[in-house]
Amino acid sequence: MIDDNLVYLLAFLGALAVMLGIGVWVARRTGSGEDFLMAGRRLNTPLLMGTTLATLVGTGSSLGAVGFAYENGWAGTLYGIGGAFGVFALLWLFSDVRRHGFMTFSEEMSYYYGASRLIKGVVSVILLLASVGWLGAHILGGALYLSYLTGMDPAAAKIVVAFGFGLYTVVGGYLAVVITDAVQGTILFVGFSVLAVVALVRIGGLDGIAEGAPSAATSMLGVEALGVLPAVSLALVIAVGVLATPSYRQRIYSAANVRTVRRSFAWVGLLFAVFAVLPAVAGLAARTLEPGLDNPDLAFPYLATTLFPVWLGAFLLIAGLSATMSSGDSDAVAGVTILLRDVVQLVTGRLPRAEHMVRNSRFALVGVLGLALAGALTADTIIDYITLMISTVLTGLLVASVLGKFWPRATWQGGLAAMIGGSAMALAVENIASWSGFWGNPVIPSLLTALAAGVLVSLLTPRRRISGDEALRLLAEERATLDVGTRLRGEEPKE
């Protein structure tokens, strides 16, 4: 009889072989930097919907949410609720930026503040670090899962996971990411649906959940387990992650047009809201079946190996790892795009040459993956890391983007103040135990502080002098150097 661990490992390697095959197939159609980093800006509704949904159902909202529900019951649904709200807010507030032809969120932020190079430089560094951090969290999540199922050494599992999705991403670029995400997203939905239904049947339905979990965990949205304010903070921090994480902006920039973005994001928001309940059911079922797990993050693999025969457990292995890989590859490409479009210009004063973009992108991907792996090799937990990074890095950035787009009086000094103020407050809350216990996580005070700082400093500094049209022209001239879909260009095709 073949050892179960070997079956799981072979299933994982088989899935990687399929993804690599897709990457090789796509690489034959990659002729420019625009093709490699932006999928030619031609993503249609099915592809955009599939890749966005697969990225949204990432390490935190799937494996992490199952573990969180194991400890806190129906509060695990807050990940899906917050994510769905974030997608709808992104659709409403920012879907129209597709028409400007941006490549990166830092370029978009620069536009809001009169093509400010200082804003673009600061934001590009912040977002590059954030992308590497997100990528490290996905490597960590996938490695925990792979190590549990195959018996692989945890450090070796991190290397295997990083190498696995890094390989097809380096070979095929963003279009390979999009296509593999669509495949992995389908596997994710089917896998989590099967797991939740079978687990619920195994414990005797909702009655079994009520018997196996504390009453606070089975309260409405687990509010009694967390508290009202921490529950709101958790949903909000996930929404902020969607609104300010560069990989979601990359979806907007790569779509065929604004209409495609809006239609795709509307479907994604609805589907993710439905998905929200599945990780919570799985976590509560695991709590009923095995209340003594040392690491709640392992609740998902525990169910996969306990409830199912090995062949079905292997399928669920692929589903769980799809959650990490489909998010990790997106963050890797987003980080590289920021690095080549913005950070290189900040450091050297010039942009890479167009004819070398594909080669440079592949080298940069290897470097970004290496940095993320180095971070993952020193970390052990997922959710606390993700929520702290969002509150510290992204809340001020979100406030600055909203002020810059919708408030004509916002200045670049106010934008910087919002980013600095949000981060400072997040760090303060995190390091003062009574504040942290009251709020749950720093996102609410961080947002409020960022807003106050951005408005106050903007009112105290001179108005912007460069018009929106002039800012777009200046940014498009820069972008034309890369020959990545600008035409001075950058405007979307006619709908």
Annotate 370-408 with DSSP letters as a single string: HHHHHHHTT---SHHHHHHHIIIIIHHHHHHHHHHHH-T
> Which pLDDT value is given to residue 408?
93
**Within 203-309, where are the H helices?**
206-212, 223-226, 228-244, 246-254, 258-275, 277-289, 299-307
C-alpha 276/C-alpha 84 separation (Å) is: 9
Query: What does pLDDT average to in each consecutive run of 10 residues of the chain (495 residues)?
Result: 68 79 75 74 89 75 77 86 94 94 92 93 88 80 77 84 82 81 76 83 83 78 83 89 89 93 95 86 87 80 77 71 72 86 84 78 87 74 56 86 95 95 90 85 92 97 90 85 50 49
Q: Could you please state the CATH topology (level 3) that the domain comprising 4-389 is classified under.
A: Sodium/glucose cotransporter (1.20.1730)
How is the chain split into domains, by residue range?
4-389
Relative orientation angle of helices 277-289 and 154-202, to the nearest 10 degrees? 90
With beta carbons less than 8 A apart as the criterion, state whether 203 and 209 touch: yes
Tokens 């216990």 correspond to 437
Q: What is residue 290's three-state secondary structure?
A: coil
Tokens 């996102």 correspond to 443
